Chains A and B, each alone.
Chain A
Amino acid sequence: MARGKYRIVHYLNQFFAQIGGEEKANTPPLIKEGAVGPGIPLQQVLGEEGEIVATVFCGDNYFAENIETARAQVVEYVSSYTPDVFVAGPAFAAGRYGIACADSCSAVREKLGIPVVTAMYQENPALDIYRKDAYIIPTAGSVLGMKDAIPKMAALVRKLGLGQTVGTPEEEGYFPRGIRVNQFVDQTGAERAVDMLLSKLKGEPFQTEYLMPTFERIPPSPAIKDLASTTIALVTSGGIVPLGNPDRIEAASASKFAEYNIAGIDDLTADAYQTCHGGYDPTYANEDPDRVLPLDAMRILEKSGTIGRLHDLYYITVGNATSVANAQKFGRDIAERLKATDVGGVILTST
């Protein structure tokens, strides 16, 4: 079957779209048919197989100051041209422009599900924020790098436009997005391990297959001065849920958390609560769910006046093979909900 040209929409700022400099930085998003500015050499390199069908552009200040509106407008414009690929920039070291390019890419990918490419300098602040969301090609720090950037962007746009498999960052020249993808290789893990160890022992170069992540260390909050008048909440990753697991929290790799009301309950019993956690033998937690979510002990502390009050809701997820990214998201959401109440302290229980 003969295949038509793949369609591209390109994003630029006011400067590269040639409508003006800083004085036009407040221009809201607009769209125009065909290639403009850097899109012209990009189209030349792409040749006959692909076509830049439209260029959407926006003032850098407008995008930065109205990010939600601008983003939505960009997506709408892009969508109307039904492209196969979206490309933005290059933004070089320009911070606002970098954010606009990368944020547009991120939104287009999320809403329209098409591949997205942008390009910028390694120290552009947008890189770290959006590196997971787009293929970002490295460029020089200034517009002098345009000549080098265009063919690199074109090569990746072409691959994506033709639906070809994109290789590793080393092969394709984009910044690593930090996305882990499984693949089968020729050697077994054991063979690779022994080879790697021999190289390391000989002082020869070797390539680790997983670079150690840097962990975010959370400093403990200052001690609570007046516990007797503080409301305390319970939050657990140990999986204690009402019997039957009504919200179907997964036994592993949790995709959600839940909140349940415990007002008026003094003790968690086996006929009303259970664990849904798949990482440990549930026998003892099911026998007495207070072992994981210590409601009974909290009521004693509440009655004796040691704490002011126990919060009426508790939060639960399962911390078993749950990705750190999901755990961070749950943590932020739960913290926001708690901050909207009078809760002054939280007891976190894990298993």
Chain B
Amino acid sequence: MRLELGIIRVSDVQFGRETMVKNGTLYVNKDELIALALQDERLSEADVELARPGEEVRIIPVKDVIEPRVKVNGSGELFPGMVGKMGTVGSGRTNVLKGAAVVSVGRIIGFQEGIIDMAGPAAQYSPFSQTNNVALVLQPVEGLPKQAHEEAVRFAGLRAAVYLGKAGKEVDPDEVETYELSPVSDATLPRVAYVYTLLSEGLLHDTYLYGTDAKRPLPTLIHPNEVMDGAIVSGNCVSACDKHTTYHHLNNPVIKELYRRHGRDLNFVGIITTNLNVTLADKERASDYASKLVKLIAAEGAIITEEGFGNPDTDLMMLCKKIEEYGIKTVLITDEYAGRDGASQSLADAVPNADAVVSVGNANEVITLPPLKRVIGELKSAEVIAGGFVGSLTSGGGLNVEIQTIMGSTCQLGLGNLTARGY
């Protein structure tokens, strides 16, 4: 399975008569994009706003972020089983509008939606302050149940990413990255697997694998190229800081890093996706099965990443314990909930086997954000989103919030550079 990612660098986004990419600028036909969103009768209103890196813009409450892409050749369509026809992805050529992103915004669905600030102190916490964002502001029809609201917004975001991605189909990429998990001849290199947990608690905490609700299948093997080519889609209203958006799945940094070192420092033997369900039996079943697959592919080491927090801490610890008990070395990536003062213990569960942990930061740490000139969405949701509190919204439009509210601030795939240290 050989995948070429044609990287088209996007350094600006503008409205235009025709949706296209020219000289690094993505031009967006606003009316077409709005009409596309409103194809779904569950949505009553749609608007499109643009936000560029460094602009004084705050986007809130954000649901998903998606990178626009297009399949140029090779089997399958973008986001198979969701908005694309079913078919195995991960081979051929996919063009990527690198530096552009679709951001879905609009009336709050749950509590666990987030903030993107394009400038100011929050900007450094979110990768999406660095992308040229096409914000889709979507309102549901009155009385729409939350699940239907979430689904309508999710699909509208995916359709928009496909629509914008098509503008890159005929464009010559600035660079082509090639991904192929070629066999490693050096048998001394350690065999490393990646255990990729997907949030699947239900009740607005879901992930889709080839369109299948991830809570149902047993843990399974997947080729890294499939993930990089849109096989996994977020349906999550989990806290903004540590949910994996669809953008994160497409750009999973653990996969990138294992690829980079494949054949040189290690032998990347594959990915096992597993779920994060709520019942004890589900947790035991998934961790039994995933650890067994890690053993079956004869891995000697495994990276395990978490999504969400609290309840999934238990899955993370079960996976760690069971994989270590097979004699396979593990490293975990997790964030912390150490309280606003940083003085609490950070996790809801722990096992002694978890002796190698990467911390991507304390999500409870409070940050003060100044008012920004323009708000896309609704500022008033700041007090009810997870990580906001009474008094979060200051009179001038500034915010006092936990970094939990910032999209991707404690990404447990390790995309960012944040960590927490003991003092």
Binding site for B on A (CB under 8 A): 132, 166, 168-169, 176-194, 196-198, 200-202, 206, 208-215, 248, 250-253, 255, 277-284, 319-326
Give the top 5 A-B pairs by smallest Cβ distance, nearest first: A189-B414, A278-B111, A323-B339, A281-B203, A190-B414
Instruction: Determine whether B2 belongs to the interface, using a CB cutoff of 8 Å to chain A.
Output: no
Known contacts A208-B355, A212-B352, A278-B111: A200-B421 contact under CB 8 Å: no
User: Closest Cβ of chain A: how far from B270's Cβ, in Å?
Assistant: 15
- CB <8 Å contact, A193 and B331: yes
User: Closest Cβ of chain A: how far from B40's Cβ, in Å?
Assistant: 20
Interface centre among B192, B331, B333, B423 (most CB of A within 10 A): B423
- CB <8 Å contact, B414 and A252: no
Known contacts A182-B420, A184-B418: A279-B346 contact under CB 8 Å: no
Cβ 8 A contact of A209, one of B350, B389, B417, B419: B419
Contacts of A178 in B (CB 8 A): 343, 422
Known contacts A194-B303, A201-B190: A182-B403 contact under CB 8 Å: yes
A278-B385, A323-B345 known; 15 new pairs, CB 8 Å cut-off, are: A188-B257, A188-B415, A188-B417, A190-B413, A190-B414, A192-B358, A194-B265, A198-B190, A208-B355, A251-B111, A251-B384, A252-B112, A253-B364, A281-B110, A323-B340
Cα–Cα distance between A176 and B415 once the two chains are bound (Å): 28
Cβ 8 A contact of B253, one of A166, A188, A213, A253: A188
Cα–Cα distance between A323 and B343 once the two chains are bound (Å): 9
Contacts of B379 in A (CB 8 A): none
Describe A's contact surface by its main secondary structure. loop
Known contacts A190-B254, A210-B420: A179-B303 contact under CB 8 Å: no
- CB <8 Å contact, A197 and B333: no
- CB <8 Å contact, B423 and A169: yes
Interface centre among B253, B256, B411 (most CB of A within 10 A): B253
Cα–Cα distance between A183 and B421 once the two chains are bound (Å): 7
- CB <8 Å contact, A321 and B190: no
Cβ 8 A contact of B344, one of A177, A186, A324: A324
Query: What are 5 A-to-B residue pairs whose CB atoms are below 8 Å?
Result: A166-B423, A212-B351, A215-B349, A322-B337, A323-B340
- CB <8 Å contact, A194 and B338: no
Mask, B349-381, CB within 8 Å of A = 1, is 111101111111111110000000000000000
**Across the two chains, which residue of chain B brings its CB closest to A167?**
B423
- CB <8 Å contact, B404 and A193: no
- CB <8 Å contact, A279 and B386: yes
Cα–Cα distance between A196 and B329 once the two chains are bound (Å): 10
Contacts of A326 in B (CB 8 A): 339, 344
- CB <8 Å contact, A168 and B422: yes
Contacts of B203 in A (CB 8 A): 280-281, 283-284
Cα–Cα distance between A253 and B303 once the two chains are bound (Å): 28
Contacts of B329 in A (CB 8 A): 197, 200-201
Within 8 A of A (CB), among B181-237: 190, 192, 201-205, 237
Cβ 8 A contact of B338, one of A180, A191, A200, A201: A180
Cβ 8 A contact of A194, one of B257, B402, B412: B257
